[in-house]
Amino acid sequence: MRSRPSGSSVTARSDARARARVVPIILRLLPSLTLLAMLGPVAAGLAGAVLPAFGHLPAAGFDGPSLVAWERLFGWAGIGEATRLSLTTGFLATLGSLAIVTLITAGWWNTRVFGWLERALSPLLSVPHAAAAFGIAFLIAPSGWIMRLVSPELTGLSRPPDILVVGDPWGLSMTAGLIAKEVPFLLLMTLAALGQVRARAALELARSMGYGRVAAWLKAVFPQVYAQIRLPVYVVLAYSMSVVDVALILGPSTPATLSVQIVRWMSDPDLAMRLVASAGAILQLGLVVGALALWRLAEWLVGLWGTGWAGGGGRGRPLDASRPVALGLAGLSACATLAGLAALGIWSVAGLWRFPDALPDALSLRSWTRHAAGLGDAIGDTALVALSATAMALLLTIGCLEAEFRRGRTIGRFALWLLYLPLIVPQTAFLPGLQTFLLRLGADRGTLPVIAAHLVFVLPYVFLSLGDPWRAWDRRQAVAAAALGASPGRVLLAVRLPMLLRPLLVAGAIGIAVSVGQYLPTLLIGGGRVATLTTEAVALSSGGDRRAIGVFGLAQTLAALLPFTLAALLPALLWRNRRGLHG
Amino acid sequence: MAEGLTLEEVAIRLDGRRLVSVDRHVPPGEVLSIMGPSGVGKSTLLAFLTGTLAPAFEATGRVLLDGRDLTPLPPDRRQLGILFQDDLLFPHLSVAGNLGFGLRGGTRAERRATIARALGEVGLAGLGPRDPATLSGGQRARVALMRTLLARPRALLLDEAFSRLDAQRRARTREMVFGTARARALPVVMVTHDHADAEAAGGPIVRLTPDN
C-alpha cells in the first residue's frame, strides 16, 4: 500500500480533479457567455448613444463634441408634453395594474372566481401588446364595436361621433391598453411569489383575529408578496414609460410620446436627426431612472406608513367593500383584451360593415386571401427569428442552470438584478445606440443581428420561467442515476431533461411569445429587411385599414398562442402512459 | 488488501464544526448501521461516499472499495448502489426502461432477457412495459432494488431505505435487501433512525450524536 499523505490535501486535490470532470470547461464558460449575450447589446447600445448625443458620429460626418443634439432636442416644440406623457402613462399604468392585481388577489384569492381568472391568464399573457392595443382601439374608437353595439338605439347616432378617443392627448387610452396587458403579467408574478410565501397560514391567522379578507391580505401577506414582485413592477414602470408599439396604436400623435419621437428621428433620412435621437435616448433613460428612484422612495414611504397601519390593529372590515370593484376592474381588463381579439377576428373576415350595424353584412375570407403572400413572408421571418432566439435562449439557460447545479451554488440577488436589467433599461434608450454601433461594424442589417437583439429580451424570460422548476427537481434523482453508472451528461439528457419536458416547453413557448411580440428590435436592428407579423401589423396602424389590421393582428396573436397550446398538449401526448409526470 | 468497504478516518465539517467522523471497515455481506437523530449528518456521510457532497462541506479521509481508493472518482465511477426512502424510479421510463438504465452492455435480446429474469426474481414477471406510477409501493421498492443490483454495484448504501414502508412490508423488504446483499457478498452501509432496522441488520452500529 502506498504511503498516505495527510488527508486534507489529498481530498482537496481529488475534489478539484473530480469537479473538473463534472463541470467541463464549456459549461464553466456558459454563464459568462449568457451575460455577454444579454448585457453586451445593452451596454454597447447605451455607449453607442452617448457619443452621438454629444455630436460625435464620424460615420455620418459629424465630429463632436458639441451640444447641437441637445439644443435641437430641447428646441423641439413637443418636448415638454412628451416628457410629461412618459411620466404620467408610466406611473398611471403601473399604479393601475398593481392596484388591480393587489385588490383582486386580496379580495378573491382561493375562490372559484379567482380560479377562472387564473385559467384566463395564459392566453391573456400570450397576446402580443400590439394585438391587444389594436383590439382595444377597435372597441373604443368612435366608430368602434362598443359604439356600434349601442347605436343608434341608445345614442341616436347614425354616424360616428367626432371625438378623439383613441390617441387622446392625455394618453389615457394608451394607459388603459397598457393596464390590460400588465395586469396578467403582474398577476402571474404574484402567483409565483405566493409559492414562496406562507400566505394561507398568515391569512387564516389574521382572519381568526377578526380581520376582514382584504385588510388581512394587505397587512399580513402583501408586504411579503411585494418584496418578491418588486423587480417585475420596475419592469412594468420602465416599459410603460417607453413603449413604442402601443403608443403608436393608442397614444397621442401631436406631439407623440418621447419614445415614438425617438424612433421617428432614427428613421429620418437626415442623418443629423440621429444625433437628436441619441440625445432623446439618453433623456428617456434619465426619465426612467428618475421615475424608478421616485417609485423606490414612494415604496419606502408607503412601507413606513404601512407598518404603522398594520401594527395599529384596525380590523379594516369596511375594506371588503372593494371586492366587487376589484372583480369588476380585473374582469374589465380581461374582457377588454378578449373582446378586442374578437373585434380583430370579425374585422379580418368582414365584408361590408356600415357604421351603426353591430355586425358586418357579410363574412368573407377575402382579406385573408388578399394578404396571403405578405402574411406568408411575415410568418416565415417571425418563425425564423422566434425559433432561433428561443433555441439559443434555452441552450444558454439550460447550460447556466446545469453549471449552477454541478457547482452546487445558486445565483445570488445580484445575478437576479442582472437578469432583469435588459427588461428595465428602456428599449428606446439602447436600441438606437445599438443600431449606430452595428452600423459602424457594418452589421446593421439582416436576420442575425435581429435574432441577437431578440435574444436580449427572450433570455431573461426563459431563464426566469425555467429556473424555479429546474431547481425544484429532486436532486436525489441525479444521485440515483449516477449510482447506476450514468455520467453527468447522461443524467442531464436521459433523466433531467425528459422529466422537465413540461417546464422546458412552457419556457420555450414564453420565449417564442416574447420574440413574436417584439417591435422595436426588429424595426431598428433589422434595418427594414426583416418584416415580422408585429412590424407589419404596427406599420398598418397609420393607414387605418381595419381588415388588414385584423388579419395581421390575429395572425400575430395566433403565432404567440400556438406554442402555448403545443406546450400544454405535447407532454400529455408524449407522457400519456406516465402518470408520475402529470400534475 | 481487505475485501469490502473501508471508511478511513472520514471526517466531515461544516463551517469548521465537525459533523461526522467515522473510521470503519465493512466486510462483504456485513451491514454497518449508522444511527442518530435527524440533522446529525447521516445523509451527509452517504453523500460523501457517493461523491455528491455539496461544496459547502469540508471532508477529509478516504473511501476504499476492495482496497481501491474511491475518493478521487466521480459518482458514476464508484460502483456504489444506493437506495433512498423514496424509490426514485424515473417517472418517464417504463419499469423495464428503469431496469435497463443501469444495465451495462449486451445485445438487445440479452438485455431484454436479463430484465425479464430480474423481474421474475422479485415476483414481478411480465410487468416490464408498465408505468412505474401504476405499481404498488412494495412493487416499486422491489423494482428500485433490482434496478440498483442490475448496475452491478460492489457495495450497497441505504439512506432510510425502509422508512416509508408500513410495518409488514418493511420487514419483508428488509429481509429481501439484506438477504440479497449477503448472497452477493456486498458490504452495506445503512443510515437509519429506526432501531428495528439496525437490529434486523445484525451488524455493528455506529451512533452519531449532535456533538459527535
Asked if the structure places residue A5 within a domain, the reply is: no
Is the domain of A343 the same as that of A379? no
Q: In this structure, is residue A143 part of a structural domain? A: yes
Closest CA to B15 of B67, B46, B54: B54
Bridge-based pairing state of the strands B155-159 and B188-192: parallel
pLDDT digits (tens, 9 = 90+) for A133-161: 999 999 999 999 999 999 888 888 888 88
The lowest-confidence range among A31-35, A110-114, A195-199 is A195-199
Domain end call among A356, A378, A395: A356
Three-class DSSP category at A156: coil
* Distance from chain centroid for Cα A461: 8
Residue type, A329: L
**Measured CA distances, A524 to A63, A266, A282, A453, A521 (Å):** 24, 8, 17, 10, 5
Do A252 and A280 sit in the same domain of this protein? yes
Residue type at position A437: F
Q: Which of A1, A410, A479 to mutate to test the interface with B (most CBs of B within 10 A)?
A: A479
A451 touches chain B (CB under 8 A): no
With CB atoms and an 8 Å threshold, state whether A18 touches B51: yes
Q: What are phi and psi of A364, to 5 degrees?
A: -155, 160
Domain that holds residue A231: 78-356
pLDDT for A21 equals 52
Cell of residue A229, nine digits: 414582485
Give the containing element (helix H, strand E) for B12. strand B5-14
Residue A532 has pLDDT above 80, yes or no: yes
Q: How far apart are CA A246 and CA A242, in angstroms?
A: 10
Adjacent-strand bridge partners of B57: B14
Same domain, A370 and A352: no
Helix (H, G, I), strand (E, B) or coil at A44: helix
Nearest to B76 among A11, A477, A482 (CB): A482
Contact A54, A62 (CB under 8 A): no
Does residue A99 sit within a domain?
A: yes
What pLDDT was estimated at residue A8?
Answer: 42
Which of residues 473 through 532 in chain A touch B, CB cutoff 8 A?
Answer: 474, 476-488, 494-495, 498-499, 501
What contacts A47, CB < 8 A, 6 or more positions away? A433, A437
| Mean pLDDT estimate for chain A | 91
**CB distance B61 to B9 below 8 Å:** yes
Question: Hey, what long-range contacts does A486-491 have (CB within 8 A, 24 or more apart)?
Answer: A486/B76, A486/B101, A486/B102, A487/B74, A487/B76, A488/A22, A488/A406, A488/B74, A488/B76
Pull the grid cell for residue A539.
406599420
- Tens digits of residue pLDDT in B3-58: 999 999 999 998 888 888 899 999 999 999 999 887 778 889 999 999 988 888 99
* Residue of chain B nearest A581, judged by CA positions: B91
Q: With beta carbons less than 8 A apart as the criterion, state whether A278 and A69 touch.
A: yes
Residue A247 scores a pLDDT above 50 = yes
Type of residue at A158: S
For cell 437628436, the residue is A276
**CB-based contacts of B104, cutoff 8 Å, min separation 6:** A485, B151, B152
> CB distance from A410 to chain B under 8 Å?
no
Q: Which residues 168-207 of B have a C-beta within 8 angstroms of A?
A: none
Domain assignment of residue A9, yes or no: no
Q: How far is CA A54 from the centre of its chain?
A: 32
Do residues A339 and A400 both lie within one domain?
no
Claim to verify: residue A39 and residue A95 sit in the same structural domain: no
Convert the pLDDT of each residue in B67-108 to its tens digit: 999 999 999 999 999 999 899 999 999 999 999 998 988 899
Full strand arrangement of the beta sheet holding B17-26: B17-26, B5-14, B57-65, B68-69
DSSP character string of A439-459? HHHT--SSHHHHHHHHHHHHH
Q: What is the pLDDT of residue A6?
A: 40
Establish if A444 belongs to a structural domain: yes
Dihedral sign from CA coordinates of A214, A219, A221, A224 = positive
DSSP conformation class of A484: T
CB contact under 8 Å between B80 and A480, yes or no, is no
Q: Which residue of A has its CA nearest to B56?
A: A408
Decide if A521 is inside a domain: yes
Residues A238 and A286 in one domain: yes
**CATH classification at residue A225:** 1.10.3720.10
Number of structural domains found in chain A? 2
Cell reading at A434: 445599438
What letter does residue A408 receive in the DSSP assignment?
T
Considering the entire predicted model, what is its pTM?
0.91
A287 has pLDDT over 90: yes
Give the mean pLDDT of A55-61: 83
* Residue A8: inside a domain: no
ipTM metric: 0.91
Question: In angstroms, what CA-CA distances link A84 with A258, A262, A304, A393, A470?
Answer: 9, 15, 28, 36, 43
Q: Give B 127-166 residues with CB within 8 A of chain A.
A: 131-134, 147-148, 151, 153, 157
Q: Is the pLDDT of residue B164 over 80?
A: yes
The residues with which B63 forms a beta bridge, in sequence order, are B7
Chain A residue at shortest CA distance from B10:
A7
pLDDT band, residue A1 (cuts 50/70/90) = very low
Helix boundaries (H) for A408-543 = 413-424, 427-441, 447-472, 476-483, 488-490, 497-499, 501-517, 520-526, 533-539
Cβ atoms of A106 and A217 within 8 Å: the answer is yes
User: Alpha-carbon distance A181 to A557, whole Å?
Assistant: 13
Contacts of A471 in chain B (CB under 8 A): none
**Does a structural domain hold residue A403?**
yes
Which residue, A324, A356, A388, sits at the end of a domain? A356
Residue A489 banded pLDDT, cuts 50, 70, 90: very high
CB atoms within 10 A of CB A474: 12
Q: Are residues A352 and A405 in the same domain?
A: no
User: Locate cell 428595465: which residue?
Assistant: A424
What number of CA atoms fall less than 13 Å from residue A564's CA on the CB side? 18
Final residue of a structural domain among A356, A377, A398: A356
Q: Which of residues 194-213 of A touch B (CB under 8 A)?
A: none
Band the pLDDT of B211: cuts 50, 70, 90: low
A1 reaches B (C-beta below 8 A): yes
Same domain for A291 and A248, yes or no, is yes
* Whether residues A320 and A401 fall in one domain: no
pLDDT level of residue A13 (50, 70, 90 thresholds): very low
For residue A22, what pLDDT band results from cuts at 50, 70 and 90?
low
Phi, psi of A290 (to 5 degrees): -65, -45
CB contact under 8 A, B131 and A17: no
pLDDT at residue A4 in the model: 40
Residue A581 shares a structural domain with residue A438? yes
Asked whether the beta carbons of A9 and B65 are under 8 A apart, the reply is no
The pLDDT assigned to A3 comes to 38
Identify each DSSP E strand in A289-385 by its residue range.
none
The reply to whether A430 and A527 lie within a common domain is yes
- Same domain flag for A137 and A284: yes
User: How much is the pLDDT for B36?
Assistant: 84
